[in-house]
Every structure is written in structure tokens, then in C-alpha cells.
Structure 1
């Protein structure tokens, strides 16, 4: 039962990441390379500065950064059925109120989501003729 739930979360996360990266690349057609770069940088920023600081930075920026923040925020929305945690308020605000164990769990989940997003962004760039 637990393994089945984990598999459902992982496959749901992969599908969500694929759909969102496809949409991000389409919406930012002239800036695909930047979007890919911002996706790839975020896990290191999270590990270096913490989830709250990294997401606050993306939240405060414009266009591509904020688009990536919105994707992460959407993953935790009550509409998504493939995540262990749902957040029905602004993500950055919810993070400020979390206890340590929830914060760590959310951090791990965001990094797992970003790993999938990075894979799909790399694949998208290869298929569209972008550099690697």
C-alpha cells in the first residue's frame, strides 16, 4: 500500500512537471534557455540558502522566476491529488508558519519536483534544437 502510494506520487509528480515545463517553455518561447537555467539553479539555491529564502527570491522577481514559483505553488494546491501535503494559502506565507519537520518535507518535495522539471527542460531544449 505504501509503495503503491509512493509510486502514484512519483508518477503524478512526473506528469505534472512535464505539463508545467511544456507550458513554461511555450509561454516563454523567446526565453527558453533562461527558464531552463532558472529551473536548474533553484535546487542549489534551496540547499545553500534554504527553501524560504530561495522561494522568496523567485517570488520577488518578475516573469520567468515568478512563473517557476507559481508552478511550485500549484503543485501544493488542493487541486493536485498526487502530493502528500496541500497548502491552500500563498506558499511563501505558509512556509513561514511551518514547523521544522513539515518544512523539511516540503523542501524535499520541491527538490524532487525540480529534478523532474530539470529533466524535462533539458529534453525540451534538445528536441527544440537548443543548446545543452
Structure 2
């Protein structure tokens, strides 16, 4: 089942263009967030949609920045969808994880996310092994 997600930040206007595009793409149900930044950790409409989504469903957004404002946030959101076996489709960028090129995009995002976790772990390990010493006063 195709599930739509539309979001606007404060001062961005209305959701009509997004909703029309999501309906045209076949979204059966559409969740919305008003006055919520893409960098927000808590997006009530998105969280509600995730709770509703079942494996095999596809989440459709108008543009990638409707889901996330940063690459790190986007990676986390896509990783969450992948773990839940929920497909993702961004209409404007033409990225769909259920298509060959979109699947490659998802795997690249997962690789970057894994790299990020490894780097953070290495830093934490190094800090424990060689704690910073106070410099001369």
C-alpha cells in the first residue's frame, strides 16, 4: 500500500502541492505535519504513519527534504524504513527503493550510516584508551 507523507515548516505555506502529487502517485492515505522542521526528531504525523506502515508498504514523499533536512537525518530515517521492510519513494528526485537504482541508493545510504557509526565508535575507543591530558597551565 502506498502511504503519503507531507510536511511544511513554519512560514512555508500550505501542503496542497505535496498532497496533489502524493495522490497522483497513488497514495491511499496521507499523513501531514504542519509547522514542523525537517530536522525535528519528533514529527507526529511521520511517527503515526510509521506505526501504521506494514512490511511491503511504500512511503511516498514529494521531495527528500520533506522527510529530512540533513543527510544524517535522512540516513537514519531510511535505515529505519529498511529495517521495517518499508519501501521509500521520493517523487521529485525519482528515488524509489523498490526499483534497481533506488535500491542502490538505499544501500549507499546504509553504507554511509555504517561508516558514521564506525568512526564514532573508533573515536570513543581512542578517547577511552588515550584520555586527553590537561595541558600546561
State TM-score, norm by structure 1. 0.30
Structure 2 length-normalised TM: 0.29
Higher relative contact order (CA 8 A, sep 6+): 1
